[in-house]
Every structure is written in C-alpha cells, then in structure tokens.
Amino acid sequence: MSACVRVQATNGDSANDTSSRKKLRVSGQQQHQAKVTVVLGAQWGDEGKGKVVDMLASEADLVCRCQGGSNAGHTVVVEGAEYHFHLLPSGIINPRCKSVIGNGVVIHLPGLFEELEENEAQGLKDWQGRLIISDRAHIVFDFHQQVDQLQELEKGTRSLGTTKKGIGPAYASKAARTGIRIGELVGDYDKFSEKFVALVASHQKIFPALKVDVKAELERYRGYADRIRPYVKETVHYLHHAAKDGKKILVEGANAAMLDIDFGTYPYVTSSNCSIGGVCTGLGLPPTVIGEIVAVVKAYTTRVGDGPFPTELLDATGEILQKRGCEFGVTTKRKRRCGWLDLILLKYTAIVNGYTSICLTKLDILDTLPTIKVCTGYRLNGKEIDYFPSSTSDLAKVEPIYEEFEGWQTSTEGVRSFDNLPLSAQKYVQLLEEYLDIPVKWVGVGAGRESIIAI
C-alpha cells in the first residue's frame, strides 16, 4: 500500500522560493533588453540593403547573414571605394564589427574566397579575426551550379530565370537530408569524402550529363578545409551569449520579401525564407530578441528575371529609371525591369514581416520626372481587391490603380536634411508613411553612406 505524502513548506522555504522566482523574472527582463535589429528588403530585391546595413553597422558589435547564398548582391560605397558582397555580411567593412554567416546560409567556398580577395583589393582590411562561419551552414558545390543550369535548360521557355549559382539545388540537398555542412568538411575528412561521393552519384543518376572529377574535387576541398577551419564556430550558442551579454546584433536579410519561397511570387522566388522567420531559423535566435525591423524600400520598383510585375514600365520612363538608377544586377549583371512604387505590394510584405521603420532609397532617381505615379490599389477582373494575390496568374491580370504626383524636377543629391527636400519629394515620402502606417526614418538620395538622410 502506497501513501501520498504532502510536504508543507516552511516559511523559510516559501520566502526562498519567492525570492528565487523574483530573480528569474528580473533575469528574464534583463535578457530581453538587448534587442536584435533586422534589415529586410521589402520588394523584389536590389533595394539598397547593403548601404543601410553599412550605416547601421557603425554601432553594431555583430552583423549576421541568416539565409540565401551567393545569389544575393549588396553594394556598399565608402569614401569612393565600391564593395560588392554576395556571401559576406556588408558590416564586415566596419573594423570593430564581427560578421557571422549563419546556419541558414548556403556557401560556395570558391566564391567566398574570391569575394574576400576582390574586396581586399578594394580596401577591406583585417577581416581574418572578424569573420565567423556557422558549422551548420550547408555547402554549395560546383556540381550544384551545373545542376542549376541543367534544370533551367530543361524548363526551356518556362525557366525561372535563376542566378544559376546552385542555390536551389543546394537547398534541395539540405531538404533531402543528403547535403553536407561546413562542420563536416572541417571535421572527419574521410566521412566528408564518403558523403561527397554519394551526393555526386545521386545527382548523376538524375542528370547523366553531369560531369564531376571526384578525385580532383576531394583534393581541392581538402585545401578549402584548411583555409576555412579558423573561421568555423558553433554559432547558436555564440549568438545566444552575445545577445545575453547585451551585444548589439544586426541581421542582414538577403534577397527580399517578394522572393521568399513561401510568401513571394511563387515559383519566381528564391529557395529560402527571406522574410522575418528566416532570421530565427537561419541563426537560431528566438523571436523574443528581435526588436527593430527595418524595411528597405526603393522609391520605385525593380525586378530581375521572370514573373508578374503589375507596375512595370515598358516605355521611356522605365528606360529613364533603368539608366539613372544603374539598374543592373550585382550578381547576374542582367538589366533590371523597372516600374512605379507599389504600395499594395509593400502593405502585403509589411503584414508578413511587421516592419517597425522604413529606409526609402534612391529617391534622387526620380529627380528628373515631370510626373510620378504610385500604385495605391489593384483591380482584378474589373473589381477592386484589398489583398495581394497568391496566384501569379491572378497577379499578371491585375490592373494597378494609380495616384499621380507632380515631380520636383530638381536635384536632391546634395540634400542632407528632410526639410530641405523639395515639397513634392516630402509629400511622396509622407504618402508612403501614411499609407503603410510605418515611420520613414531614413531617405537615401545618392550612392554613398553620407547620402542617407535621417528624419
């Protein structure tokens, strides 16, 4: 026969328990004081995120990439020097800031080392002690890039217009649980070799035309293992302790909201989550540490590759935007499609991401236009709709509803305060702010970091 015995706590035990709980509550509050700032592209990419990250990185202790791969392209201009980043966080320019490539990123090692060398030639210094790479990040191999090209060729006229950087096939390997992580490369090389041989063989069964010199590649990656080993770290606990210690963490989203695999214009999207959820899964940070979420919005809309684009301009105005904005992809070198600012699109991505502030970039590109239009509504099949369509076929049939502005037709490039902007330009910024109900904190009127106006 068993007996249930209730032990009554003494007054001392109760007091200790209460004190302990109070300490836990205080500790919890303190832990959440160090909030992470996130910078996300709010359109189809190329909004100028690199410049914004560079600006904010001046006060950051760590800058992190959370997803994507070398299909991203961020340009930063500092004192006349132009830096191009594809895998490296843009904050690596800041000499007091550490840069973390998180577990959600897929890394092409030849491309990473080439990127480092090119930026060193531009003036990047002392990065060796400031670069940290997650041991959980997956590797993009050259054969992934070959597969990317073969898949696009197979699709023919239905191709998606990928960057052919192997990003999709690498994420597919990850999802199939056959991918290889950085930690395996720098760990047991025999096991890495076994996995590599098996991974190549599985792809060659699907793509018989795929040619891989396995022996040469294994020898090559033995060299990469030695080169990258000093930078590899278990980053989940590293970032946890950094946040707990009050370090200022800045997260740089790659690609953009409308390229998100779940919320973008599927299938014309990338293979990762470029929205706010990718920050948590790509770095191991809990949602509770995320504070400010900065939306980077170009003053007009651009898109690279195929897919519906409601406000696209296929006329002289579109050519003006393309030429004045130097709208060529950093990664692909392809000409970007250009169109008017789309507030319906921005409202949708704001719902998904919960933006707390906006940085509006490239306002100066509109300087010469006599009239400027902004999309403030959609009609589908003759009826006005209050949502962003999930179906690309519906989005292709959307008729944009425009509000027209008088252009300011004067240069804004030398302006360094909001009050000194032309009145029409101020009204343009205020419309964006009022429509989205999100404050515009910065306005960009030029290429350099000094051309961002704080409001």
Closest C-alpha among 64, 40, 48 to residue 130: 64
- The conformational region for residue 374 under phi > 0 = left, psi -120 to 50 = alpha, else beta, is beta
Q: What is the CA radius of gyration of the chain?
A: 24
Consecutive H or E run containing 167:
helix 167-175
- 222 among annotated binding-site residues: no
- 46 among annotated binding-site residues: yes
98 catalytic? Reply is no
- 187 among annotated binding-site residues: no
- 362 among annotated binding-site residues: yes
- 47 among annotated binding-site residues: yes
Consecutive H or E run containing 76:
strand 74-78
- 446 among annotated binding-site residues: yes
Consecutive H or E run containing 235:
helix 235-244
- 306 among annotated binding-site residues: no
Whether residue 360 contacts residue 49, with contact meaning beta carbons closer than 8 Å, is answered with no
- 335 among annotated binding-site residues: yes
What is the Cα–Cα distance from 201 to 435, expressed in whole angstroms?
Answer: 53
| The pair of three-digit structure tokens given for residue 365, joined into one six-digit string | 């590109």
What is the Cα–Cα distance from 183 to 137, expressed in whole angstroms?
Answer: 8
What is the Cα–Cα distance from 68 to 65, expressed in whole angstroms?
Answer: 8
- 71 among annotated binding-site residues: yes
- 444 among annotated binding-site residues: yes
Q: Which residue has the tokens 């709010």?
A: 42
- 394 among annotated binding-site residues: no
- 129 among annotated binding-site residues: no
- 371 among annotated binding-site residues: no
CA angle 183, 38, 239 (to 5 degrees): 35
Closest C-alpha among 107, 357, 104, 121 to residue 236: 104
Q: Which residue has the tokens 């914004």?
A: 52
**Continuous H helices in 10-94:** 11-31, 49-56
Instruction: Count other Cβ atoms within 10 Å, centred on residue 186.
Output: 20
Q: Which residue has the tokens 């509770």?
A: 288
- 237 among annotated binding-site residues: no
- 336 among annotated binding-site residues: yes
Q: Which one from 98, 108, 164, 174 is the annotated catalytic residue?
A: 174
- 164 among annotated binding-site residues: no
**What is the per-residue DSSP string for 91-118?**
GGGSTT-EEEE-TTBEE-HHHHHHHHHH
Q: Which one from 46, 54, 148, 260 is the annotated catalytic residue?
A: 46
Q: Which one from 54, 74, 260, 298 is the annotated catalytic residue?
A: 74
- The conformational region for residue 156 under phi > 0 = left, psi -120 to 50 = alpha, else beta, is left
Instruction: Give the number of residues written for the chain.
Output: 455
- 50 among annotated binding-site residues: yes
Q: Sign of dihedral through CA atoms 309, 314, 315, 317?
A: positive
- 364 among annotated binding-site residues: yes
262 catalytic? Reply is no
Residue environment code for 20-56, b if the CB has 16+ CB neighbours within 10 A, otherwise e: eeeeeeeeeeeeeebebbbbbbbbbbbbbbbbbbbbb
Instruction: Count other Cβ atoms within 10 Å, centred on residue 154.
Output: 10
- 334 among annotated binding-site residues: yes
What are the Cα distances from residue 1, in Å, to 4, 166, 367, 446?
10, 67, 89, 83
174 catalytic? Reply is yes
Feature table: binding site for GTP: 45-51, 73-75, 336, 362-364, 444-446
Catalytically active residues, by annotation: 46, 74, 174
Binding-site residues for Mg(2+) sit at: 46, 73
* Binding annotation: 45-51, 71-75, 163, 177, 255, 270, 330-336, 362-364, 444-446
Q: Which residues are annotated as a binding site for substrate?
A: 330-336
Binding residues for IMP, by number, are 46-49, 71-74, 163, 177, 255, 270, 334
